[in-house]
Structure 1
Amino acid sequence: MSSVHTTAYQRLVAAAAGLKVPDAVHRVATAAPQDPRPGQIWRAVWEDTIQLLLITTAGDDDTARAVPASFERYTDADTLLLPAPATTLEQPVALWWGLEATLPWCVLDRQVSELTSRPDTLTSRTLADTVTGAQWGSDTVLSAAAGEYRAVLTDHLEVLASAQWAPQGSGGLSQLFRDHDITAPQLAAELKLPPPLALAVWRGQQPLTAEQAATLAALLGWPATRFLDANPALPPAVVHELNRPLRRSQVKKLAAQYDETERAARLRAAYGIYTLAARDDNRTRPNWTARTDRYFELRLDQ
């Protein structure tokens, strides 16, 4: 860990030890996660990367524009410093507007705070004009430590911006079975499926679940990903449901239950939710939110 990381962490631990968590922060942190909105401050997590972010714009395509936030003394000319009363954290916050980026919802882990007041359009200029005591960072040459810290934030944003989990789905499942002389009756027997559902899988009209892919992989000596990658593409509505922050805690529980990564757990959930369509009486207009709720209700240990 670099000296910047070490000292920053030590200061954060020392500050946390002597601070009472503001009531507003406690309410936000313990509330059920919802879709992100401008003016909220979130903790973003992807693999080993953790970063605080201010949401500036929430898109309708499962993405959001966000600015990295920190409690550090390091700044540059594009950093807007907010005084303690400006957020429910009740601590001064630095917003690195020069690093604003578009990020997928799937990296948003937990809302931790929000602005106490916000302009109708959230930009660096409107925030600087409306928040009493806001000021811009120094426009002088960065110190070596400040430059290193900015580089760390840049790396974090690159990791978060490139995060993805949903497979494209080649749709080649049927051809894979045909190429290796795997018949629908064999699928029915090995996967313990009723014949109509086995036929739908064999035709590539129905995806294999993670458990089914693992069964076939053990039988044939292939990696399970070979089957999952050949699945039909996931419906966008399924991907959207599992991108939503409110699903993050459910995905984490599923990952812990199966001792696997969050990405593997999302895939497990996605294909499991998709296969519920075969048992849904309303297949023409499926309620994906209800189906997702039902999947986690069935799969998660209570």
Structure 2
Amino acid sequence: MFFDQHPLDLDLVAFIDQPNKGTSERVSDHILNCKVCTIRAHQVASNSSSLQQSEGDAVAVKSLAGIVPEGANSRPLASLINAGRVVEPQPGQLWRLHWEDVTHLALIASTAYGITFWPVTLDVELADESSLLVPASESGGIDLELAIWPAIETGVGAYVLEVYITDILPPERLQQLRRAYRSGGDLPVRWLPGAAGSGPESPRGRLRTDLIQVAGFLGEASWKPEEWTECESPELPLLADALSAAKVTATQLADALGIPPRRAISLCRGQVEPTPQELDGVRAAFGLSASGQADAPPQNVIDALDDPHTRGLILRAAAAEGKSEISLRRELAQGHFALAARKSGACENSTFEMLATELRKRIAAPQGSDD
């Protein structure tokens, strides 16, 4: 994928490692005409003889591209992220973010009012004066020099967090660093700034532009449909459930609302979205108050789907069923799991376990079978 017409580092690595596949011709033409990407490609190529890519769960990140230098005191980043540690997002943690076809490294900056992050890159030679360079000895055991970009702090949904990698700073020190950076005060760490840039068209300026656009894309990522509405009474049952509980038949519904029998049957089965007029008609005819499928599910359902701890299961289930992550999330939000959580009034932990159970069933189900 290209941002601001520059290939991502992942594209450059694929071009060098597999020159006859994918978008290599497009990348090659771009490199020949772009000084910035000529430099970036040279950096990747110069290290290619000592790079290692993990098999299976490769660390595909912009400026890491799934590979890290080998050496006596270093190890593949995948050996850290595959440890299976489950943590709550906290300031100072390094995470791998992923949405659609964009993957990126990020340092959690704040969790006070939602999650915000600072982009992280390995392009330390192209890091400008707004960035801070983290020595390899302070990179949380990764043994790689990192460039963090506090000036590009961006809010992001928790569902974009894919894998926790390591801790760079304790939460308190990161908060001190954030305040000092914003106020221009003395930093509580000995991290030096990058080199001074020489304009937006310079290599450093263009890299910064790329980072802003990637961060913006991740910040705008959302799986929730725009047509969802906030239900004024979240406890209201769905129309199909209300009709079933009151033993209202499709024939009675069709007669009361003056709608075709086929439409009434679909409404009773929850197969179509009721109109506001139909909901009002049901209320007038049967004294039933109900909500439509377009109403946003309860907050505990959304929180469970947003939880980074379910991300791996969601991705595996989506792959097993041949669906996109977004479509599966939306299906789960309005499907059997959400209905069960709504009916039972499950607490947050119970809802999480119900979702995890549903996802494990989907993963284990034979491919092509119906739920």
TM norm structure 1:
0.73
Residue correspondence of structure 1 range 149-168 to structure 2 within 5 A: 149-167=207-225, 168=227
Query: Quick check: 2:96–2:163 contact (8 Å CA) kept in 1?
Result: yes
Structure 1 residue 36 corresponds to structure 2 residue 121:
no
Q: What's the secondary structure of 1:151's corresponding residue? A: helix
Q: What's the secondary structure of 2:104's corresponding residue? A: strand
Q: What's the secondary structure of 2:116's corresponding residue? A: strand
Q: Which amino acid aligns with 1:138?
A: A
Q: What's the secondary structure of 1:300's corresponding residue? A: helix
Q: 1:275 aligns with which of 332, 339, 348?
A: 339
Q: 1:233 aligns with which of 281, 296, 299?
A: 296
Residue correspondence of structure 1 range 55-134 to structure 2 within 5 A: 55-59=108-112, 63-72=114-123, 73-88=125-140, 89-115=142-168, 119=173, 121-124=175-178, 129-132=187-190, 134=191
User: 1:225: which partner in 2?
Assistant: none
Q: Which amino acid aligns with 1:82?
A: V
User: 1:288: which partner in 2?
Assistant: 351
Q: Offset of 1:14 from its aligned partner?
A: 5.0
- How many residue pairs align between the two structures? 264
User: 2:34: which partner in 1?
Assistant: none
Q: Offset of 1:27 from its aligned partner?
A: 4.0
The percentage of aligned residue pairs carrying the same residue is 18
Query: Quick check: 1:67–1:95 contact (8 Å CA) kept in 2?
Result: yes
Higher RCO (Cα < 8 Å, 6 or more apart): 1
Structure 1 residue 266 corresponds to structure 2 residue 329:
yes
1:39–1:284 CA distance, 2 compared to 1 (3 A) = closer
Query: Quick check: 1:38–1:56 contact (8 Å CA) kept in 2?
Result: yes
Q: What's the secondary structure of 1:109's corresponding residue? A: strand
CA distance, structure 2, for counterparts of residue 130 and residue 93 of structure 1: 17
Q: Offset of 1:284 from its aligned partner?
A: 7.2
Query: Quick check: 2:239–2:291 contact (8 Å CA) kept in 1?
Result: no
CA distance, structure 1, for counterparts of residue 46 and residue 323 of structure 2: 33
Q: Offset of 1:19 from its aligned partner?
A: 1.2
Query: Quick check: 1:70–1:94 contact (8 Å CA) kept in 2?
Result: yes
Q: Which has the larger radius of gyration?
A: 2
TM norm structure 2:
0.60
CA distance, structure 1, for counterparts of residue 118 and residue 160 of structure 2: 14
User: 2:310: which partner in 1?
Assistant: 247
Query: Quick check: 1:56–1:64 contact (8 Å CA) kept in 2?
Result: yes
Q: Offset of 1:30 from its aligned partner?
A: 2.2
Q: Offset of 1:269 from its aligned partner?
A: 1.9
Query: Quick check: 2:95–2:108 contact (8 Å CA) kept in 1?
Result: yes
User: 2:234: which partner in 1?
Assistant: none
Between 1:136-145 and 1:116-125, the stretch displaced more is 116-125
Q: What's the secondary structure of 1:290's corresponding residue? A: helix
Query: Quick check: 2:93–2:169 contact (8 Å CA) kept in 1?
Result: no
User: 2:70: which partner in 1?
Assistant: 19
CA distance, structure 2, for counterparts of residue 125 and residue 171 of structure 1: 35
CA distance, structure 2, for counterparts of residue 82 and residue 174 of structure 1: 56
Q: Deviations over 1:71-118 (max 9, x none)?
A: 111122211111111112111111112111111111111122221656
User: 1:183: which partner in 2?
Assistant: 264
User: 1:169: which partner in 2?
Assistant: 228
Q: Offset of 1:29 from its aligned partner?
A: 3.8
Q: Which segments of 5 or more consecutive residues in structure 2 lack a partner in the other structure?
A: 1-6, 8-29, 32-36, 53-68, 232-237, 241-253, 273-281, 283-287, 366-371
CA distance, structure 2, for counterparts of residue 131 and residue 120 of structure 1: 9
Query: Quick check: 1:29–1:113 contact (8 Å CA) kept in 2?
Result: no
Q: What's the secondary structure of 2:109's corresponding residue? A: strand
CA distance, structure 2, for counterparts of residue 301 and residue 174 of structure 1: 32
1:264–1:242 CA distance, 2 compared to 1 (3 A) = same
Q: Which segments of 5 or more consecutive residues in structure 1 lack a partner in the other structure?
A: 192-198, 208-229
